[in-house]
Structure 1
Amino acid sequence: MRNTHIKIVAFVFFLGFISCDSRLDLAPTDILIEKDVFANVENAEAALSDVYYKLFLASSGATHVIPDASLPYVGLPETSSYYKYSGGNLDATDQEVENIWIEYYEVINVANVFIDKVPVFGNYDEAKELQHIAEAKFNRAYAYWALLSFYGYGGLTGNFDGLCVPLQLMPYNGFNPSELIPRNTNGEVYAQIIKDLTEALVDLPENHGDNIKTRVRATKATAQALLSRVQLYKRDYQACVEASNDVLANTNYTLETELLDLFPLNEEGTTSDFSDEVIFGFPVSSNGGNFQYGIHGIYYYNKYIWVDADFINSMDASDKRRTELIFEGNPHITNPTTANEKTTFKFNNPEQRDDIQIIRLAEVILNKAEALAQIDGVNTESVALLNKIKERSGLSPVDVSDFATKEELLTALYNERYIETAFEGRGRFDFIRTNRPLRNPDLTENEKVFPIPQREIDLSGGVLVQNPK
């Protein structure tokens, strides 16, 4: 891992952890030693904000865009800084290759402090201590899922013996060559993610008291929803169905009937009232964007990247995801390359202060439908779940008789996920795990996996080995 000591940074109260107005004031106030951080619940809650904030930093900006820019539904010129991530032979010294690694390990390191030190230094209500540890485990699990998806060799294609990333499960206490950790296997990383989420479920609350808090902090449903995704990626389809069932039975979450209520117009950057469909996200627009998460760095509105015209034309003309969630974007663009292009309404704020939806109910519905199809082939429940998504978008339902084979049903489900979750930062991973071609259809399996950052290999003295080229 990066040769940097990660410290707990105490932030003033954000996300409504303590304040009643759900402010997201994230200016750091002090560096506290662990004993002081966990001396009382107020300090611990403020410090826990740093874990969530680091997860936002790791998951936004280029990290969000690269998985989508790897697919042809995103329009971008060859001069775009994102273009190289859809090609092969990605350089191990590339800045984003390094940044993604560093930022997710910063999440893990601060989460590790909570998991390891709260039992030692915690001096507040035990139930709240256990909740904080559980929230840290959720954040750590999400970070390892992301690292596996980018760097795990065969991690998305069922190669559980392939090398993934080092499982650093203790706080980083300085560089010690004798304690360097080699890369664990994909199977070991999957097992740790599932272990963290399963343990977190015991102590996470059902909700945090109001709509926004319940959707920006980990709950039981948040952990179950991430388990649904992870088990699908791992190809444990029965476990995926079980985790999905737990989420779908939770009445705190419902499929939004109107897409424009799910992704509302946000011209002022102040719309931070997540729909009941959102299970977990980052409320970037809360309170007008003042000293919160900053900006998300996802440049769709200004059409540095845009929605490819062929993708738009491939959608049914009556599909609301085409008629409502594709728009002109910035009206002042004069660049002839992009002036006449359209972009996604999912990021419609001019100042990049849109709320970021990380997990939502539609994904879990599609997870269950796909897992059931893998288990049972053509079946009525998968088709019914598929129709929930199609009908919400104004499309005619399909029938079991429309699918002659399991493969035909899976193809329909893959296509629905492709349209439904476009521009939400996971497209690359879904295409790799389902063996569909990326923007560059000629990439080898080796070229679909990010290289381990050369800096990390050098710092490890060769303990970390590079992915095959």
Structure 2
Amino acid sequence: MKKTINKYLIILLGIVITTSCDVLDQEPKDLIASSDAIVDARSAESALNGLYHTVQSGDLYGGRFIMSSEMLALNAEAAAFQAYWQELSTGNVPTSNAQLEFYWIAAYNAINAANNIIASVPEVTELSDADQDRMLGTAYFFRGLMFFDLLRQHGEFFDLGSIYGIPLPLEPSNVPKETARSTVQQSFEQINLDLEMAIDFLEDSGDKYYVSKGSAQALMARAALYQKDYATAISMANLVINNSQYELEEDYNAIFNVEDPSSESILELNFINLTDPNVWGVEMYVTPPEVAVRADLMNFFNSRGESERGGLFEANGNLYKCTKYGSAATDDMANTILIRLSEMYMIRAEASAMVAGGSLEDARTDINRLRSRAGLADISSIASEDALITILLNERRAEFAFEGQYWFDLVRLGRMEQVTGRPSYRRVMPIPLREMILTDDVLIQNPEY
């Protein structure tokens, strides 16, 4: 199935970021053109591999985006001197925070790489229909994922009527462009469109290192839940749950203690060599670590008798570390699981209770399925919507600790201020100061920053 999309002559936007232990060296130095145009099957495959490599950046899903959200959620803390970690750890994040800038650049670099594929691949006549579909579906998926995570971090995603969405560049460019922010509604509409295109193009695949129809349906379920489109969330979650390629692991720890994807994994990023490492080992397992697990999270696990899920957090001297991504400074090849099946059960539980005419009993059944695997007693009843929210937050915190979910759950379910004690405007991270300067204030800053 080929779709007609205009061809653009494109050079990918490359980012050179020099890093060291000196925080003054953490600023991005140059923007350089680093890739040739897509003109044949070989260059198209190279561009697709480059897209996977780009989303594995240490500032994206190679570690630091997840670490940042865990710090904001009070699951993690800064254990050394880096200023940007200290700021995220306290939640008092200024517009000059270096990690926000690194993330913003890396995310839009990935979007530009996806735009390059979307614009150019349909014109490569030597590609088969199946290869074109695979490439385009992957590009739409990652562009939708990047827009979604940018919106979650920098936009008022919890208010569909807000003007504070994100820039939505849809064409490739070899130079940074001044792109104004879209509204939250417009941002979600583009995310939905990209994921619909991904679902349309992609096929099911048994190789969980590559984007598939199932991973696009799973991400659509997540995005629909954030929009309170509960019917779509249930529909998409059901499609994934009923897909025979995915099955809950009986042993929670087995999800993370094996190199190859588990039966529960829907999409993993595979870190395979020294030129493509994750950064968890560098940040968490060195002595002293840059990032540590807060004692509050360990107390949470202990208070619940969480010997299974809490077993992936262990002492590291006077601190604690998460072992979902390895346990030593040399463990830089561990994979990042972007989506797994248990999230579909949690999405279905929440949506089943919140949809018009919904069922708290259906929600309880799905939640108890995950609690049972963790060795916990069933929840006997859910008395109210407020009680449901408390249960959802606790279960999601336990199930997805250090997987980058809990912070956004606190925000979207209206408990951020209560749990963290921060003012409500801190629900959203600021647009990085450098971007405001480079765009000559074309971007509008979030309120109160």
Tell me which interval the TM-score lies in, with the shorter structure as reference length.
Answer: 0.7 to 0.9
Cα separation, 2, equivalents of 1:382 and 1:397: 12
Pick aligned residue for 1:242 from 235, 246, 271: 235
SS for the counterpart of 2:354 is helix
For the pair 1:291 / 2:292, whether they are aligned, the reply is no
The Cα shift of 1:59 comes to 2.3
Cα separation, 1, equivalents of 2:296 and 2:421: 20
For the pair 1:372 / 2:349, whether they are aligned, the reply is no
Pick aligned residue for 1:301 from 263, 272, 285: 285
For the pair 1:348 / 2:334, whether they are aligned, the reply is no
Which consecutive unaligned segments of at least 5 residues does structure 1 have?
10-29, 265-270, 330-338
Pick aligned residue for 2:268 from 275, 281, 284: 281
- 1:328 maps to 315
- The question of whether the paired residues in 2 share the 8 Å contact of 1:8 and 1:33 is answered with no
What amino acid is aligned across from residue 199 of structure 1 in structure 2?
M
- 2:198 maps to 200
Superposition TM-score, scaled by structure 2 size: 0.85
What amino acid is aligned across from residue 124 of structure 1 in structure 2?
L
For the pair 1:391 / 2:396, whether they are aligned, the reply is no
- The question of whether the paired residues in 2 share the 8 Å contact of 1:167 and 1:183 is answered with yes
For the pair 1:467 / 2:413, whether they are aligned, the reply is no
For the pair 1:229 / 2:209, whether they are aligned, the reply is no
- 1:268 maps to none
**Structure 1 pair 172–355 and aligned structure 2 pair: CA distance change class (3 A):** same
Q: Equivalences for 1:155-234 in 2 at 5 Å?
A: 155=157, 157-174=158-175, 180-207=178-205, 210=206, 214-234=207-227
The Cα shift of 1:232 comes to 0.9
Superposition TM-score, scaled by structure 1 size: 0.81
- 2:40 maps to 39
**Structure 1 pair 232–175 and aligned structure 2 pair: CA distance change class (3 A):** closer
What amino acid is aligned across from residue 196 of structure 2 in structure 1?
T
- 2:29 maps to none
- 2:19 maps to none
The Cα shift of 1:424 comes to 0.8
The Cα shift of 1:343 comes to 2.4
The Cα shift of 1:325 comes to 1.7
- The question of whether the paired residues in 2 share the 8 Å contact of 1:241 and 1:371 is answered with yes
Aligned residues: 412
Pick aligned residue for 1:134 from 127, 130, 137: 137
The Cα shift of 1:414 comes to 1.7
The Cα shift of 1:220 comes to 0.5
What amino acid is aligned across from residue 236 of structure 1 in structure 2?
D
What amino acid is aligned across from residue 118 of structure 1 in structure 2?
V
The Cα shift of 1:449 comes to 1.4
The Cα shift of 1:320 comes to 3.1
- 2:24 maps to none
Cα separation, 1, equivalents of 2:401 and 2:278: 24
What amino acid is aligned across from residue 430 of structure 1 in structure 2?
D
Cα separation, 2, equivalents of 1:293 and 1:432: 31
**Structure 1 pair 246–440 and aligned structure 2 pair: CA distance change class (3 A):** closer
Cα separation, 2, equivalents of 1:231 and 1:295: 30
SS for the counterpart of 1:357 is strand
Pick aligned residue for 2:339 from 349, 359, 373: 359
Which consecutive unaligned segments of at least 5 residues does structure 2 have?
1-9, 15-32
Cα separation, 2, equivalents of 1:186 and 1:7: 27
- The question of whether the paired residues in 1 share the 8 Å contact of 2:314 and 2:321 is answered with yes
What amino acid is aligned across from residue 217 of structure 1 in structure 2?
Y
- 1:420 maps to 399
Pick aligned residue for 1:97 from 93, 97, 100: 100
The Cα shift of 1:466 comes to 1.2
Per-residue CA deviations over 1:212-261 (Å, capped at 9, x if unaligned) read: xx212110000011111111111111111111111111110111111221
SS for the counterpart of 1:60 is coil
The Cα shift of 1:311 comes to 2.6
What amino acid is aligned across from residue 129 of structure 1 in structure 2?
Q
Cα separation, 2, equivalents of 1:160 and 1:86: 30
**Structure 1 pair 298–172 and aligned structure 2 pair: CA distance change class (3 A):** same
SS for the counterpart of 1:115 is helix
The Cα shift of 1:345 comes to 2.4
The Cα shift of 1:89 comes to 5.3
- The question of whether the paired residues in 1 share the 8 Å contact of 2:51 and 2:113 is answered with yes
Q: Equivalences for 1:112-123 in 2 at 5 Å?
A: 112-123=115-126
What amino acid is aligned across from residue 228 of structure 1 in structure 2?
A
SS for the counterpart of 2:140 is helix
The Cα shift of 1:322 comes to 4.9
- The question of whether the paired residues in 1 share the 8 Å contact of 2:91 and 2:426 is answered with yes
**Structure 1 pair 194–73 and aligned structure 2 pair: CA distance change class (3 A):** same
